[in-house]
């Protein structure tokens, strides 16, 4: 999320009647309503404290690491509560109040969401807002122990006072943290360790430059900060091997001298052998030898063992405890998620015959987060695999080669390769005809995939039955309307079976825009092209002299009205002529309020492609679309170039 600019303002102090405002040093920002917001909020508060310290504000002299850690914990819980239970963007204000006669200086944190009707929750004694987030995401059940923090209990414990203010369209939860650790040496409060805090960059710093923290450091707020930051890092990973690698780097050398992580095969049975996914040692030179020792004896924890620590032999056969040479301790933890065993973590500490209970409990909490991350990564992998299989089924494995015509196709789904709403096809038909299709289904994801799965085979069937271009669209239109009616009737039955409660988006229309045409080679060279555009961006014809003109007339979308008669246009695609067909992911590519095709932008870009091959035209148009705005395209992008030879 990059750096967040601090904005100073005069803000309303919580609990003070409207109309009476106090001018205070303040920083405010807006955060997106997703589970990355708490991490961004903690970084933002750290940055604000650092800036105020650098400015030498009187109250900032009282800042200490304790104040910074308390602020991080409080803002993390407040923002997570807002994101999970309100589901809107979040407004965050951090304000510094100077000491008054009746009270000490204080840091005030305000977190506002735009769902004033949604209550703030802290209804399970051992549940925090982030735990509720995990439950809402389907990662834990309602009766499982909390995995994240202590919710508003922490806010109430760490703050002097806190409360909720309701305004029109806005709900604000605020907390006031006293700044009472007065430091007569301001330069000490601004030291780098204070301003940097416990961030992701520090968590993954090279291990050679760090040492194990004293176990006493983990007994309080340091453990909470570690778990919060570790959760942010692990939750964003979609590959289980990356989760395993990050977990090792997080544990070593903070809580262990070395660690190893095994992962069970996802579809393996009782006899399946776990895979050694990651080995991490504080001395990188010893990692290879440790891996060799561990690979000889894959870890297997008995079924009766829960998620707590289990004493294990030291690699190489040495038992834990006091030895002739040194004290060593090795512990194993089961990785679980949703009641399933996903693997195990084995770690070792030298210089200790027994790891303190507070550290083993902290590691157990951490391993639970590893289980959630591995489970989420596997779920994502399963869904991505299903999407790839669907993608292969919904799109042709190969497009046909057309005699006398060069073709070039660009297809870029917006959702990282997941099934999109755009589809294409080029296929031969009886009578020395070659047909081409470029379509765009309403919506995206599974609903779009349903229509794509129907439209493409229907088009092939109708075309091979010998129907003309206009007749193919007529019949496809009626098929879509019939299917939409059947789907609506089935949805109505589902609603009735559910007691009249609407359980899905019933009655969603199934319509699409489509460009469909056929090519017939001509004896003297070139091809005869007949096509029709149903609610689709019009194809453009590029002549060798640079002239560009539309090659079809606009007509109604498919799947809306049943009394539409579609018409086709025919023309000759002479040698050197090029036909450009695109979806609205090209024409409606946005940069602010502007679109790529504003002012015939697509035609101008095509005119600049004079003399290029089909591949050259496709590549230049694609680059022009991508370079039109800094952000990547947020819609599926498909374009087809046909060039007569």
pLDDT over 90 at 35, yes or no: no
pLDDT at position 60: 62
Give the span between the Cα atoms of 306 and 373, in whole angstroms: 19
Q: Is the domain covering 204-386 a CATH 3.30.70.3270 domain?
A: no
Q: Which regions of the chain carry the CATH code 3.30.565.10?
A: 26-197
Reported in sequence order, the residue ranges of 264-365 that DSSP labels E, i.e. its strands, are: 275-281, 310-311, 321-322, 327-337, 340-350
Minimum mean pLDDT range among 15-29, 135-149, 473-487: 135-149
CATH topology of domain 26-197: Heat Shock Protein 90 (3.30.565)
Q: Give the mean pLDDT of the chain.
A: 79
Minimum mean pLDDT range among 14-18, 281-285, 411-415, 508-512: 14-18
Provide the phi-psi class of 535: left if phi over 0, else alpha when psi is between -120 and 50, else beta: left
Q: Is the CB of residue 422 less than 8 Å from the CB of residue 411?
A: yes
> What confidence tier does 86 reach under pLDDT thresholds 50, 70, 90?
confident
Minimum mean pLDDT range among 48-52, 137-141, 147-151: 137-141
pLDDT at position 599: 93
Strand partners, 106: 97, 178
Higher-confidence residue of 545 and 203: namely 545
Minimum mean pLDDT range among 83-87, 173-177, 587-591, 635-639: 83-87
pLDDT at position 31: 86
Q: How far is CA 115 from the centre of its chain?
A: 23
pLDDT over 50 at 285, yes or no: yes
Strand partners, 280: 259
pLDDT at position 355: 85
Tell me: cis bond preceding 253? Omega within 30 of 0 counts. Answer: yes
User: Which CATH number is correct for 395-644, 3.60.40.10, 3.30.420.80, 3.40.50.150, 3.40.1180.10?
Assistant: 3.60.40.10
Average pLDDT over residues 250-257: 89
Higher-confidence residue of 128 and 643: namely 643
What angle is formed at CA 370 by the lines to CA 271 and CA 360, rounded to 5 degrees?
95
Taking residue 385's Cβ as centre, other Cβ atoms within 10 Å add up to 10
Minimum mean pLDDT range among 71-85, 537-551, 572-586: 71-85
pLDDT over 90 at 471, yes or no: yes
> What confidence tier does 222 reach under pLDDT thresholds 50, 70, 90?
low
Q: How many CA atoms lie less than 13 Å away from 248 in the CB half-sphere? A: 23
Minimum mean pLDDT range among 2-6, 274-278, 331-335, 504-508: 2-6
Nearest alpha-carbon partner for 243 in 370, 136, 367 = 370
Note the pTM of the prediction, 2 decimals.
0.54
pLDDT at position 345: 95
> What's 132-198 look like in SS3?
HHHHHCCCCCCCCCCCCCCCHHHHHHHCCEEEEEEECCEEEEEEEEECCCCCCCHHHHCCHHHHHCC
Q: Is the CB of residue 410 less than 8 Å from the CB of residue 618?
A: yes
Collect all residues with Cβ–Cβ distance below 8 Å to 102 and sequence separation of at least 6. Answer: none
Query: What are the distances in angstroms from CA 128 to CA 93, 113, 144, 483, 600?
Result: 22, 18, 12, 46, 54
Average pLDDT over residues 255-266: 92
What 3-state class would DSSP assign to 611?
coil
pLDDT at position 190: 39
> What confidence tier does 505 reach under pLDDT thresholds 50, 70, 90?
very low
Minimum mean pLDDT range among 43-47, 50-54, 94-98, 147-151: 147-151
User: Could you report the per-residue pLDDT of 357-387, keeping only the tens digit for each?
Assistant: 888 889 999 999 999 999 999 998 888 887 7
Give the total residue count for the chain: 645
Q: Which regions of the chain carry the CATH code 3.30.450.40?
A: 204-386
Give the span between the Cα atoms of 357 and 369, in whole angstroms: 19
pLDDT at position 48: 85
Collect all residues with Cβ–Cβ distance below 8 Å to 153 and sequence separation of at least 6. Answer: 122, 125, 128
pLDDT over 90 at 219, yes or no: no
**Kind of pairing, strands 554-555 and 527-534?**
parallel
User: Could you report the per-residue pLDDT of 286-335, keeping only the tens digit for each?
Assistant: 989 999 999 888 887 877 777 788 888 888 765 444 444 568 889 999 99
Give the span between the Cα atoms of 272 and 267, in whole angstroms: 9
pLDDT at position 19: 35
Residue 512 phi, psi (nearest 5):
-150, 155
User: Could you report the per-residue pLDDT of 587-642, keeping only the tens digit for each?
Assistant: 999 999 999 999 999 999 999 999 999 999 999 999 999 999 988 888 889 999 99
Give the H or E element holding residue 249.
helix 240-251
Which pair of tokens denotes residue 84?
């999970």
Q: Which regions of the chain carry the CATH code 3.60.40.10?
A: 395-644
Give the span between the Cα atoms of 99 and 109, in whole angstroms: 16
Collect all residues with Cβ–Cβ distance below 8 Å to 538 and sequence separation of at least 6. Answer: 550, 551, 552, 553, 554
Higher-confidence residue of 94 and 168: namely 94
Give the span between the Cα atoms of 120 and 336, in whole angstroms: 30
pLDDT at position 618: 97
pLDDT at position 622: 96
- End-to-end CA distance of the chain, in Å? 50
Give the span between the Cα atoms of 67 and 219, in whole angstroms: 17
Average pLDDT over residues 488-511: 62
Give the span between the Cα atoms of 31 and 569, in whole angstroms: 51
pLDDT over 70 at 138, yes or no: no
Give the span between the Cα atoms of 139 and 335, in whole angstroms: 14
> What confidence tier does 147 reach under pLDDT thresholds 50, 70, 90?
very low
pLDDT at position 32: 82
Minimum mean pLDDT range among 195-209, 244-258, 290-304, 629-643: 195-209
> What confidence tier does 197 reach under pLDDT thresholds 50, 70, 90?
very low
Radius of gyration of the chain (CA): 31
Strand partners, 436: 426, 517
Average pLDDT over residues 209-221: 49
């Amino acid at each position: 999320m990059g750096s967040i600019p601090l904005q100073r303002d005069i803000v309303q102090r919580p609990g003070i009647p409207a109309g009476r405002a106090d001018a205070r040093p303040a920083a405010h920002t807006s955060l997106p309503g997703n589970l990355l917001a708490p991490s961004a909020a903690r970084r933002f508060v750290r940055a604000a404290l650092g800036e105020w310290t650098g400015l030498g504000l009187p109250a900032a002299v009282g800042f200490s690491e304790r104040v910074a850690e308390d602020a991080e914990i409080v803002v993390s819980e407040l923002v997570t509560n807002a994101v999970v239970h309100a589901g809107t963007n979040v407004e965050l204000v951090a304000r510094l109040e100077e000491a008054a006669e009746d009270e000490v200086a204080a840091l005030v944190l305000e977190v506002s969401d735009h769902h004033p009707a949604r209550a703030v929750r802290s209804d399970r004694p051992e549940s925090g807002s982030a735990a509720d987030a995990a439950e809402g995401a389907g990662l834990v059940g309602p009766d499982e122990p909390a995995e994240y923090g202590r919710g508003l209990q922490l806010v109430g414990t760490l703050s002097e006072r806190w409360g909720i203010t309701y305004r029109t369209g806005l709900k604000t939860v605020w907390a006031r943290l006293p700044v009472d650790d007065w430091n007569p040496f301001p330069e000490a409060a601004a030291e780098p360790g204070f301003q940097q805090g416990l961030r992701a960059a520090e968590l993954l710093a090279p291990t050679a430059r760090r040492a194990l923290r004293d176990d006493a450091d983990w007994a309080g707020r340091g453990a909470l900060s570690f778990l919060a930051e570790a959760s942010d890092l692990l939750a964003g990973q979609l590959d289980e091997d990356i989760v395993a690698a990050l977990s090792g780097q997080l544990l070593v050398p903070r809580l262990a001298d070395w660690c190893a992580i095994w992962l069970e095969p996802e579809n393996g049975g009782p006899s399946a052998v776990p895979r050694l996914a990651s080995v991490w040692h504080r001395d990188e030179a010893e990692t290879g030898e440790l891996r060799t020792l561990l690979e000889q004896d894959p870890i297997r924890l008995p079924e009766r063992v829960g998620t707590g620590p289990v004493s294990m032999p030291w690699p190489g056969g040495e038992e834990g405890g006091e030895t002739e040479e040194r004290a060593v301790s090795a512990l194993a933890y089961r990785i679980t998620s949703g009641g399933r065993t996903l693997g195990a973590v084995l770690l070792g500490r030298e210089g200790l015959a027994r790891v303190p209970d507070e550290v083993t409990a902290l590691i157990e909490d951490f391993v639970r987060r590893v289980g959630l991350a591995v489970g989420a990564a596997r779920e994502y992998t399963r869904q991505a695999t299903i999407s790839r299989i669907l993608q292969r089924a919904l799109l042709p494995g190969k497009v046909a080669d057309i005699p006398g015509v060069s073709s070039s196709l660009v297809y870029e789904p917006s959702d990282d390769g997941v099934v999109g709403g755009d589809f294409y096809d080029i296929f031969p038909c009886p009578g020395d005809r070659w047909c081409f299709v470029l379509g765009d289904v309403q919506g995206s994801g599974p609903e779009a995939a349903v229509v794509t799965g129907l439209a493409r085979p229907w088009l092939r069937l109708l075309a091979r039955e010998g129907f003309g271009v206009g007749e193919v669209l007529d019949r496809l239109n009626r098929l879509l309307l019939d299917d939409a009616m059947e789907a609506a009737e089935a949805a109505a039955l589902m609603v009735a079976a559910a007691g009249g409660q609407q359980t899905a988006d019933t009655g969603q229309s199934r319509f699409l825009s489509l460009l469909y045409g056929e090519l017939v080679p001509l004896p003297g060279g070139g091809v005869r092209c007949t096509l029709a555009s149903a609610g689709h961006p019009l194809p453009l014809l590029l002549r060798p002299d640079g002239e560009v003109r539309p090659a079809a007339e606009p007509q109604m979308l498919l799947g809306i009205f049943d009394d539409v008669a579609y018409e086709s246009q025919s023309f000759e695609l002479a040698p050197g002529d090029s036909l450009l067909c695109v979806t609205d992911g090209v024409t409606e590519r946005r940069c602010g309020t502007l679109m790529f095709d504003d002012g015939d932008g697509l035609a101008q870009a095509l005119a600049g492609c004079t003399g290029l091959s089909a591949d050259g035209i496709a590549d230049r148009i694609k680059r022009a679309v991508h370079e039109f705005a800094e952000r990547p395209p947020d819609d599926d992008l498909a374009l087809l170039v046909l060039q007569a030879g």
